[in-house]
Amino acid sequence: MGENILMIGLGAIGSEVLRQLDDNNDILIRQILVRPGSNTQPCSGIDQKLDLISSIDELDFIPDFVLECAGHHAVLEYAPHFLKAGIDFGVVSVGALSKPGLLEELESCGARGSAKLCILSGALGGVDALSAARNKDLTVVEYSSRKPPASWVGTHAENTVDLKKISKETLLFDGLAREASELYPKNANVAATVALAGLGFDKTEVKLIADPDISHNIHEISAKGSFGEMNIRMVGNPLDENPKSSALTAYSAVRALKNRVCSVVI
């Protein structure tokens, strides 16, 4: 059986998801929820006609699954509604879950509706191993994000350094995942995913670095515990439409949708 999907957001990530699924007959993105007055234009390379709506009151079907690709505000606004209604909700903007009390609220909503909050791995690898390792004596989890200075434009970093004058790698933040998520919400999704998979927001060490000598985003995770040690380094290519968005983030959303209809999943 196929799946009828509501997608929230049609930016670079949502557009790439549509392209990847354009010829998939088992996954139908029936409607796309965008902000009222949004200037979002139908994305290129898509054959199907897009049904854009600006309110959940305009929904003309009951989704099998909701995929959020719109940002932290969409998680806050829509996840409780759909979870309580018994509809699984997939989160791309994982950093939203750093807000104190929100994860517990969504757990309660999911319990009431017998629905799942599905946290996507996004731009990150090794989430499965990290999540498995936390089952017994996971002791240390450290995450670092290294990006070109331009990728930090419009963030808290502008309050501390002149990004245009950086000539060598510069440490922008060194602390815990919860504070990193609060100070850098647009760059917090991977840190939040690491925290949720491992030791939590208040025990996960995070470093954020601006490096003028690189052109890609680099994510590094190290973990230790009774399982042994793990070190992962991801060098991600950005999406053409938005250099701040990882291509792998879109592909992880596609994987999540395909896993809902495939007979064999991994």
Catalytic residue ranges: 219
Which amino acid, residue 58? E
Structure tokens that stand for 66 in this block = 């909701």
Asked if residues 20 and 46 have their Cβ atoms less than 8 Å apart, the reply is no
Looking up tokens 């898509």 gives 46
Kind of pairing, strands 138-147 and 217-225? Answer: antiparallel
208 close to 190: Cβ distance less than 8 angstroms: no
Which residue is it, tokens 């994982």? 94
Pairing of strands 238-239, 242-246: antiparallel
As a whole number of angstroms, the distance between CA 85 and CA 83 comes to: 5
- CB within 8 A of 63, min separation 6: which ones? 4, 5, 6, 30, 82, 87
Distances (CA, A) of 148 to 7, 153, 177, 216, 238: 30, 10, 20, 7, 12
CB distance 119 to 193 below 8 Å:
yes
Cβ atoms within 10 Å, residue 138: 21
Q: At 222, which helix (H) or strand (E)? A: strand 217-225
Cβ–Cβ under 8 Å, residues 230 and 124:
no
| Tokens encoding 131 | 């999540």
